Amino acid sequence: MSHDSLSRAFILLIRRDLVLAMRYRAEMINPLLFFILVTSLFPLGIGARPDLLQTVGPGIIWVAALLAGLLSLDSVFRSDFEDGTLEQYLLSSHPVSVLVLAKVLAHWLITGLPLLLISPLLGILLNLPAAGIRILFITLLLGTPVLSLIGSVCVALTVGLRKGGMILSLLVLPLYVPLLIFASSAVDTAAAGLPVTAHLSLIAALLVLSLSLSPFATAAALRVSLS
- Is residue 220 a contact point for other proteins (CB under 8 A)? no
Report the nearest approach of other proteins to the CB of residue 223 (Å): 8
For helices 130-158 and 165-191, the axis angle rounded to 10 degrees is 160
Gap between the Cα atoms of 190 and 64, Å rounded: 20
**Considering only residues 72-91, where is the footprint of other proteins by CB under 8 A?**
82-85, 87-91
Of residues 159, 2, 133, the one with CA closest to residue 79: 159
The 3 state secondary structure assigned to 63-113 is: HHHHHHHHHHHHHHCHHHHHHCHHHHHHCCCCCHHHHHHHHHHHHHHHHHH
- Cβ 208 to other proteins shortest distance, Å: 26
Residue 29 in the binding site for other proteins (CB under 8 A): no
User: Could you tell me how many residues of this chain bind other proteins (CB under 8 A)?
Assistant: 29
Q: Based on the shown chain and the rule CB under 8 A, indicate whether residue 226 belongs to the binding site for other proteins.
A: yes
Query: Least distance in Å: CB of 84 to other proteins?
Result: 3
Closer residue to other proteins (CB): 19 or 121: 19
**Cα dihedral: 28, 34, 39, 40 (round 10):** 100
Of 78 and 134, the one with the shorter C-beta distance to other proteins is 78
Q: Cβ closer to other proteins: 24 or 198?
A: 24
* Residues 147 and 176: beta-carbon distance below 8 Å: yes
- Looking at 71, 94, 109, 120, which residue binds other proteins (CB under 8 A)? 94
- The interface with other proteins within residues 8-27 (CB under 8 A) comprises 8-9, 12-13, 16, 19-20, 23-24
Q: Among 98, 109, 126, which residue's Cα sits nearest to residue 1? A: 98
Q: Which residue ranges make up the site for other proteins (CB under 8 A)? A: 1, 5, 8-9, 12-13, 16, 19-20, 23-24, 82-85, 87-96, 99, 223, 226-227
